[in-house]
Structure 1
Amino acid sequence: MIGSMFNSDSKPTPLQAGAARKESREQRFLRIKQDVHRHLIAALDTGSATALKDHELRRELRRGIEDLCRYRADLLNEGERERLINEVIDETLGLGPIEPLLRDPTISDILINGPKVVYVERRGRLERTNVAFHDEDHLVEIVQRIASKIGRRLDEANPMVDARLADGSRVNAVIRPLALDGALVSIRRFAAKPLIAADLISRGSICREMIEFLAACVQGRLNMVVSGGTGSGKSTLLNMLSGYISENERLATIEDAAELQLQQPHVARMETRPANLEGQGEVRSRDLLRNALRMRPDRIIVGECRGDEAFDMLQAMTTGHAGSLTTIHANGTRHAIRRLEMLVGMASFELPIWFIRELIASAVTIVVHCERLAGGQRRVTQISEVTGLVGEQVQMHDLFTFEKTGLDQEHRQMGRFMATGIRPQCLEVLREAGIILPPSLFERRQLIPERADTVAPVTPRRNPT
């Protein structure tokens, strides 16, 4: 197999011992790695390689690299050879220097500011790594590899891209001339296994009473909006809530970069598409949303409302697609309603404000706000109910809140979850759906988070009659 994949006459030339002594050991390692990678690519028979499965290709690449490394035996020890083999395989098949970061389950975000500056977020804290790319061309090449796999382009004509990795992680990249100091790349990691309610409760992100109410709202087909800032946990919460949707329902999802991890068997997933070089072929969220209405979905889930698709989303919520969900960037539940007003107004300038507010009040029942607090913790800080219009103003009240009480010695936000004591008006709708929530769930009090070892699954109580 080696002979069929590699040209035997492509061998690296030995280094001069004198030149090697002028370099540090790390510099020498990097130079040898680049040289071996270059010769590997030159010797690789792409026709034979593409016929192999991933694990077979990795095995054959390892053999080929070991063969090339024999010409550097005087310069590399056993540990360096193993490191070189792994890094060259990552360079050839994976994402180069950041591949080890992607295998680290404790990392939630990878933030790249040019080829020599790479930060990661662990447990809500940013820390700089010693990972570096050879140069900016190397970094751009890696990002272009990601984008090309899903049919996206990244070049001077299109210097921004939203893409995704095979595991669903979301990638955003900006290159020159928009990025002044080198390519900027952010990767939002997603767990291989979606978080469930017990995970969020055990992490202190939400309390059982709040989950029980939200799960009832999902099963009772109330329309819901999840708001929050970047990295606040909106998509994580949306994924978790979708787990309470019946497996018998048909779902349609619309996203800019597919990242939702729905567990239902009947899901029609759609993703927007940017325009081509000629400025044609663009498919927007609004186009997909209108098409989704013809696909007989029971519910529609829009990954994020950020433009004129908000108007169509609200119309869908009021015309036979009850129980739909979406997210929106906002600073609180009331600000989320104002953002919806603005987005709908931008979509249809001729609509009067009283009509827009009436549409929102009739479409949205529950707004949930997520926040990334000082210290990096993610919390659900508000659950509010939209109760209708008073005059021309959308009225809503808080059912559950998170009250901030200051910072601890490590500058992490402290606080407590509270039930406000307000009884939701939507309880009657839930009762008609056969879901009974006890009045005590909403009594004004502090809600005590549970320990990780005591969290049990949350199942909304249904009326036996």
Structure 2
Amino acid sequence: METLAGAGAMSFGRKTLPAHAETPLAAAPAAEPVSVAIRASAEQFALVRSAALGRLDPVAVANMDSAALRSAIIEAVGAVAGDQRVQLNGREQMLLADELVHDMLGLGPLEPLLADERITDIMINGPDCAFIEISGRLQKADIHFRDNAHLLAISQRIASAIGRRVDESSPLLDARLLDGSRVNIVIPPLALDGPCLSIRKFAKKRIDLARLVEFGAMSEPLSRALEVMARSRLNIVISGGTGSGKTTLLNALSRFADPSERLVTIEDAAELQLQQPHVVRMETRPANLEGAGAITQRDLVMNALRMRPDRIIIGEVRGPEAFDMLQAMNTGHDGSMSTIHANNSRDALSRIENMVLMGSLGLPAVAIRQQIVSALDAIVQVQRMRDGKRRITQITEVVGLEGDVVVLQDLFRFDYDGENRDGTLRGQFVPTGARPSFLPRLKYFGLDTLYNSVSAVGAA
């Protein structure tokens, strides 16, 4: 894999001088005006690039793999540079060859960013503006596309790979890359400054609760409590903001499903990484150009009930399918899980209630809350905090209903205690000592003693 320094030297149509080849990818472009020498160098690179492409046989290129194509391009670049009297050293020739290979077989300037495992998010705001997230912090990326047409071509390549399209008639797209990374695309006329891409990268390494403990997202006792809750088939909703780590935690919790269980996953854009042997993955489908043929999450949840699932896992609840999710949890599909966007546990319940009302079922608020209380056992709140780290800030039990108010009870919480010298936040994951009402269920699975040992039940 290329280093960030090597990748940062590549930029489509705006090649930097060799002296700048060691600039880190995440470094912001220099504030000084571009010199005449740099413009001349960019023109030379563009000339070599165009002439080298003209020397390649399209029929032969179509049958080459990436390694063979790279060798052919290096040879063509060397020949053109000699003919045009452009001085390129071996490193510069290889960089230009990689650029062309990425443009012909991959996703152009995005390839170095996708190859860097430190990067978790990629945000393209037009051909000349790109940002990346590393360790929870955003920074500018030194990559460029030639123009809006080049960026649009890359966007359409992403869409066509999964049988979808993005154009003026369909300017919005939720898609995924071949490695599972989630992509959202917005193009003109909706995006005023050119096509915009937001990529949530697919983690190549499986992340479990032990890794999350290492990252500081939770404590060891809290991870053991979550393991007990997942193994006891409690119905869990993971709540949090965008990029807070909801899907990562959902993947980690799903590892504790019994291998004999049949799991059905439902997502808008498939990104879950379940590791059980018996998993059925389903994905929604948008409407065609005539406005017909759409398959929604609600359709998939209703169909999943006919597939004899043991657990139904919805990647994210965002609409009327919330009612069908509650129905599934209330009809014997214990251990089901989902995620939801909300600021805290109480807001998560309000959002679920509002999403049920979106279905225009005419149910009174009390009836909806009764469904919620009967279906849900716990809400896990996650948050990306101001130091860039993602942490579990709250585990809340859904206790019951008093009148028309849902009663909640915190089982664990994160107590903020200050800031370290390196800017990271300091705090403790504290068990409240509250006795959960689902303790008899834990006893049924033989896990009550383990839960008591890590949650200090009865101490409060």
What is the TM-score normalised by the length of structure 2?
Answer: 0.87
Partner of residue 44, structure 2: 28
- Structure 1 residues 309 and 34, CA gap change in structure 2 (3 angstroms): farther
- Report the Cα distance in structure 2 between the residues aligned to 1:217 and 1:99, rounded to whole angstroms: 40
Q: Deviations over 1:225-277 (max 9, x none)?
A: 00000000000000000011111111100001000000011110011011111
Aligned residue type for 1:370: V
Aligned residue type for 1:325: M
Q: Which moved more, 1:400-409 or 1:242-251?
A: 400-409
Partner of residue 220, structure 1: 232
Aligned residue type for 1:24: A
The offset of 1:301, in angstroms, is: 0.3
Partner of residue 149, structure 1: 161
Q: Deviations over 1:271-303 (max 9, x none)?
A: 101111111111100011111111111110000
User: What secondary structure is seen at the aligned counterpart in 2 of 1:297?
Assistant: coil
Partner of residue 68, structure 1: 76
Alignment match of 2:223 (pick from 193, 211, 219):
211
Partner of residue 44, structure 1: 58
Aligned residue type for 2:229: C
User: What secondary structure is seen at the aligned counterpart in 2 of 1:421?
Assistant: coil
Partner of residue 441, structure 1: 454
Partner of residue 422, structure 1: 434
Instruction: Say yes or no: does 1:405 pair with 2:417.
Output: yes
- Report the Cα distance in structure 1 between the residues aligned to 2:38 and 2:266, rounded to whole angstroms: 56
Partner of residue 248, structure 1: 260
Alignment match of 1:364 (pick from 376, 392, 415):
376
- Report the Cα distance in structure 2 between the residues aligned to 1:136 and 1:437, rounded to whole angstroms: 61
- Report the Cα distance in structure 1 between the residues aligned to 2:307 and 2:336, rounded to whole angstroms: 15
- Report the Cα distance in structure 2 between the residues aligned to 1:39 and 1:353, rounded to whole angstroms: 70
- Report the Cα distance in structure 2 between the residues aligned to 1:23 and 1:214, rounded to whole angstroms: 57
- Structure 1 residues 393 and 280, CA gap change in structure 2 (3 angstroms): same
Kept in 2, the 8 Å contact 1:66–1:85? The answer is yes
The offset of 1:444, in angstroms, is: 8.0
Kept in 2, the 8 Å contact 1:374–1:411? The answer is no
Q: Which moved more, 1:412-421 or 1:302-311?
A: 412-421
Instruction: Say yes or no: does 1:391 pair with 2:385.
Output: no
Kept in 1, the 8 Å contact 2:326–2:371? The answer is yes
Kept in 2, the 8 Å contact 1:90–1:97? The answer is yes
Kept in 1, the 8 Å contact 2:48–2:80? The answer is no
- Report the Cα distance in structure 2 between the residues aligned to 1:437 and 1:226, rounded to whole angstroms: 25
Kept in 1, the 8 Å contact 2:210–2:223? The answer is no
Aligned residue type for 1:122: I
User: What secondary structure is seen at the aligned counterpart in 2 of 1:286?
Assistant: helix
- Structure 1 residues 38 and 187, CA gap change in structure 2 (3 angstroms): farther
User: What secondary structure is seen at the aligned counterpart in 2 of 1:85?
Assistant: helix
- Report the Cα distance in structure 1 between the residues aligned to 2:38 and 2:154, rounded to whole angstroms: 30
User: What secondary structure is seen at the aligned counterpart in 2 of 1:221?
Assistant: coil
Instruction: Say yes or no: does 1:182 pair with 2:198.
Output: no
Instruction: Tell me the percent identity.
Output: 49
- Report the Cα distance in structure 1 between the residues aligned to 2:161 and 2:264, rounded to whole angstroms: 23
- Structure 1 residues 354 and 62, CA gap change in structure 2 (3 angstroms): same
Partner of residue 352, structure 2: 340
Q: Which moved more, 1:161-170 or 1:233-242?
A: 161-170
Q: Which moved more, 1:406-415 or 1:168-177?
A: 406-415
Equivalent residues in 2 for 1:93-112 (5 A)? 93-112=105-124
Kept in 2, the 8 Å contact 1:418–1:445? The answer is no
The offset of 1:105, in angstroms, is: 0.8
Partner of residue 276, structure 1: 288
User: What secondary structure is seen at the aligned counterpart in 2 of 1:24?
Assistant: helix
- Structure 1 residues 288 and 21, CA gap change in structure 2 (3 angstroms): same
Aligned residue type for 2:455: F
Partner of residue 99, structure 2: 87
Aligned residue type for 1:442: S
User: What secondary structure is seen at the aligned counterpart in 1 of 2:273?
Assistant: coil
- Report the Cα distance in structure 1 between the residues aligned to 2:429 and 2:303, rounded to whole angstroms: 41
Kept in 1, the 8 Å contact 2:132–2:139? The answer is yes
Partner of residue 65, structure 2: 57
Aligned-CA RMSD value = 2.0
The offset of 1:22, in angstroms, is: 9.5
- Structure 1 residues 319 and 104, CA gap change in structure 2 (3 angstroms): same
Kept in 1, the 8 Å contact 2:225–2:455? The answer is no
User: What secondary structure is seen at the aligned counterpart in 1 of 2:178?
Assistant: coil
The offset of 1:326, in angstroms, is: 0.3
User: What secondary structure is seen at the aligned counterpart in 1 of 2:65?
Assistant: helix
Kept in 2, the 8 Å contact 1:196–1:240? The answer is yes
The offset of 1:423, in angstroms, is: 1.6
Partner of residue 287, structure 1: 299
- Report the Cα distance in structure 1 between the residues aligned to 2:75 and 2:432, rounded to whole angstroms: 69
Partner of residue 17, structure 2: none
Q: How many positions carry a matched residue from both structures?
A: 419
- Structure 1 residues 39 and 138, CA gap change in structure 2 (3 angstroms): farther
- Structure 1 residues 92 and 172, CA gap change in structure 2 (3 angstroms): same
Aligned residue type for 1:59: A
Q: Deviations over 1:125-151 (max 9, x none)?
A: 111121010011111110110111111
Gaps (5+ residues) in structure 1?
1-19, 447-465
- Structure 1 residues 68 and 399, CA gap change in structure 2 (3 angstroms): same
Kept in 2, the 8 Å contact 1:96–1:142? The answer is yes
